[in-house]
Structure 1
Amino acid sequence: MSQTQFNQRLLSFLEQATTPFHAVEQMVLQLEAAGFRPLSGAGNLQAGQRYYLTRNDSSLLAFIIGSDAPPATGMRMVGAHTDSPCLMVKPRPEKLRSGYFQLGVEVYGGALLNPWFDRDLSLAGRVSFAGSGGQLRTALVDFRQPLAVIPSLAIHLDREANQNRSVNPQTDILPVLAIADGQDKPDFRDLLAGRLREEYPGLEVGRILDYELSFYDSQPAALVGLGGDFIASARLDNLLSCFTGMDALLQADGTQSCLLVCNDHEEVGSLSTAGAQGPLLLSTLRRIAGSEEQLSSLVQASMMISADNAHGLHPNYADRHDDNHGPRLNAGPVIKVNANQRYATNAETAGFFRLLAEREQVPVQSFVVRTDMACGSTIGPITAGGTGIRTLDIGVPTFAMHSIRELAGSEDAANLARVLQRFYNHQGSLTPA
């Protein structure tokens, strides 16, 4: 597959995957088309077969049972996360202020708030409702058109805006949806019910019971730059890694046992049923192994590559990076290192990744945060600590991480997919002699 074909598929995925629920839905469609089938609650796993399972509709785990017994050769594993910082709608969101209909929102994760102003926003997520007969039903919803905007305050009313404007998340970022002067405020749940009926003709939608909904930028993902050097999109952190890991798994030859896990809730600590601190991965590995003794052997022989975007060297803020560790866009995937274990990389796992990349003729970079700055983290240390599996943290260099629209190099994701595919197909022990 050419880089152009890869990027077009990536852009399409980013446009459809507007929430973690929609990301999992899109991945399931592609996995099923490639012969993966849902993992049932009983029965033996068969060599050569492909399976997947989901958790909370927002996390996904897919794997291939290789021709050799997995405990003997281990699992080649790639991990990523499906969630991104965003604005989520509160349970009782309707507000009528100064003649405008607005919705109250809660900030999810460490969002960069200023870029949310003056964007054409739409709304998507999961809704629970009473179906015919009063039973509980759930469905995904996506309005797929601009519904709202958070207007900036004009500079004439805040002359210090360019020097010192802060954002109060309780009062300053309520999206405006309509003019409602002299009217009763609209019922948001009625709006949801109407949209569900539009998306699912014939679906009997009774009372809306609850929802998990987030606003998103309706501008599509795109290639930008004079030579198409960049990918600009919402949710590159970390749907780019989810797609890259999935593409590599779909291209795997199936000789070796390999696995992809895409967890929700990484941006808020990973402690949930669907998060990396939950039981999804370890319980699945236990089933693959077949016994606790075999699980121990499987863990010892396995390796995880945790893929999560890295901070690219910003040309306007080069001093925010360590002098020797400023990754450039389109210069290869980044090995992320932190002495205080905010990343799970060690010399062994980093060295193995470098060898894989060399065989694909893909350059590799390194990232170490400035010693006088705090370091973020990933699912890598959580997975390593919870399972005992050797883990490496890598990522594609990115600008504007946690903004409503982020920027990555147009060559990096395809190159990373090639390295991950080689990892999935690697024959022989992952343990040094």
Structure 2
Amino acid sequence: MTISPHTSSVTLESIQEAAKLLDRIARVTPIESSRALEAFTGTKTYLKCENLQRSGSFKVRGAYVRMARLSDEEKSRGVIAASAGNHAQGVALAAAALGIPAVVYMPAGAALPKIAATREYGAEVRLYGTNVDESLAEAQAEADRTGATFIHPFNHPDVIVGQATVALEILEQVPDVRTVLAPVGGGGLVAGLVAAFAAIAPQVEVVGVQATRASAYTYSLQAGHPVTFPAQSTMADGIAVSTPGDVPFDIIARHNTRIVNVSEEDISRALVFMAERAKLVVEPAGVTGVAALIAKPGQFDGPVVSLLSGGNIDPNILLRVVRHGLVAAGRFLVMKVRLIDRPGALAQMLFDLASQQANIMHVDHVRTGVDLAIDEVEVTMQVETKGPQHCQELLEFMRSKGYNLSS
């Protein structure tokens, strides 16, 4: 494969120079070991906590390096970016540090905490479009009209070398690392890791992890060039990119980088796992590496480092995702039961459930419905359980007592 002139500038020297630029801007984020994850992997496993980075994600690294390398004239004209959250905050923080005017386009439905944080860092926020692709297109058009520099979230060598500085830290913190798992959306982070490790520690395998519902890299690598795969709705909105960038794609493809997919259930289970066992708040996109470790045990050589790319999550989304994760982990059961509509029937059923140590969170009692007999009611319950085995035992118990469970 011919090396692109753009990617030829992603060298070890440029990555080391980027690390110097970031010396007082990006934190050296901690590495945490995880015995709980080692139970799944069977090998030493670590977490690289970029969710504790300034602005809440690794994005500030690439944004700052890109903007620090602008000429004085370019800086005076300002910068424009587009993002649903993490890149927006990274650009805003970097612009404030460098004294550069910044405008950030965000989708109209972007999380309110992310919009507020971007404004608090000093950027002007403009809400446009229903998704990041529409915001990106408008931001690029505005940059063309005004002469401001467009700061792409992943498709530029300077952004990639900025993200690559994470690899230098990982090698210092875990010198014997063999596998690094990182989220992949547009590809800037994974491309940076691949380039860095290929130059200084070629024995390390970098594995990109994407949401199955946003698996553009799978199809692009099969095609041999970036192709558009319209991202479906996914809780991992931070990596829901429809088309890989040609610059990171060139690096990822040239090094035969392995890409794996994880489901929504995998992601939600991993997010709950992080909160319960690692005591870390991580956004869904940032936990995909952990999701792969849990869903695909034994597939990665250790020691393994899973990169937690960000921790910016709307509390309302967190509540919904945690509940989804509890269901996926068999800790939360939704049960529908048809009862004969007579006094005491509901009370008896609740007593029976309590006898099995099931904690009822919510009850919905419906007396009318086209598929209900005149003497029937349908009760939908949300029940907290102790795990998958308890769920199965509970269902079997209810059937043994003669309850009519419906789907």
Do the structures match in fold with TM over 0.5? Answer: no
Work out which structure has the larger RCO, using CA pairs closer than 8 Å and 6 or more positions apart in sequence.
1
Higher helix share: 2
Higher strand share: 1
Q: Which has the larger radius of gyration?
A: 2
TMscore range, shorter length: under 0.3
